[in-house]
Amino acid sequence: MSPVAHPTSDASASNLQTGARIALFGLVINAVLAVAKIVAGVLGNAYVLIADGIESTLDIGGSVVIWGGLKFAARPPDETHPYGHGKAEPIAAAIVAGGVIAAAVGLAVQSTREIFIPHHAPAPFTLVVLIVVVIVKELLYRSVIRLGRSVESTAVQTDAWHHRSDALTSIAAFVGIAIALIGGEGWETADDWAALFACALIAFNGVRLLLPAVHEIMDTAPRGEMAAIIRQAAGGVAGVCEVEKCLVRKMGLHFYVDLHVGVDGAISVRAGHDIAHEVKHVIQATDPRIADVLVHVEPAAE
């Protein structure tokens, strides 16, 4: 079958490049906030703020991985990767999610140790730092998640939830420090307990981000009505008597379809080819994200 010209590849490459630029911007923001939180935590005796800053530092590494994964995924197909490099996107998301879980465990261990070590109460100015962090991170989350959902990019959405996770940990830090300041003597460890709570949130988000990436790497069928819509479109083509297998998998921002259609066994090879060509055309017309359709023509059961 001759390929059908389709704008999907160019559009998807553009979306991946946009996602890479967003990840790079997030990297710069994370770097600035990480330095601010760690310095404020050290000067203000707030371990939860230091832990939050370390988590932001890890976010920098995550943004680098996301950026690299998206740049690699945007490469066009070549001789050794005829289906393109889209798998780099969920692989990058899985690496970042794994890093988030590891960071949560490490910070939880250190936070537990700090509970049993006497230390001064946090300084009030640390609350101002946290308010700024929460506002910036929430705004960044909303802009990145909007893009990730519009292009259905696992990596971009992972990066967005990284920002939301950072905002949540900063809120937990704010509560912990506020309790320590209001409670006074004997409540100095409130920020350490807040850090533990923040670690639980980080770990939960890490698992939440890891699962869709693993599903995509394993070619899990997409959710929703895509397969049903494809079957209906193929069944409406003149000459198609039945639609048997319909397999759909996601590759980066693309979807690839394998379809078996039954036709009259008495028609010519040319006629069967024309029917398959039309089936491919109507299926790609149902969704611009469908990059290719492989149609197997078989004689329909009598």
Which numeric CATH code is attached to 8-217?
A: 1.20.1510.10
| Calpha distance 139→126 (Å, rounded) | 20
Same fold for the pair 8-217 and 226-299 = no
Q: By percentage, how much of the chain surpasses pLDDT 90?
A: 17
| Calpha distance 62→67 (Å, rounded) | 8
Place of tokens 């069967």: 272
Tokens of 8: 């999907």
| Calpha distance 223→255 (Å, rounded) | 12
Q: Where are the domains of the chain?
A: 8-217, 226-299
Those residues of the chain that have pLDDT short of 50 are 1-7
3-state helix, strand, coil in the chain (%, to 5): 70, 10, 20
Q: Which sign does the torsion angle of CA 41, 145, 106, 31 carry?
A: negative
Shortest CA distance to 198 belongs to which of 61, 56, 93, 98? 56
| Calpha distance 122→179 (Å, rounded) | 10
User: What topology is assigned to 226-299 in CATH?
Assistant: Alpha-Beta Plaits (3.30.70)
The confidence score (pLDDT) of residue 277 equals: 93
In terms of C-beta density within 10 A (0-12 exposed, 13-18 middle, 19 or more buried), how is residue 34 classed?
buried
Backbone angles phi, psi at 290, to 5 degrees: -80, 110
| Calpha distance 147→111 (Å, rounded) | 35
Contact, 23 vs 156, CB < 8 A?
Answer: yes
| Calpha distance 163→138 (Å, rounded) | 7
The confidence score (pLDDT) of residue 238 equals: 92
Tokens of 227: 């397969």
Contact, 151 vs 51, CB < 8 A?
Answer: no
The confidence score (pLDDT) of residue 280 equals: 94
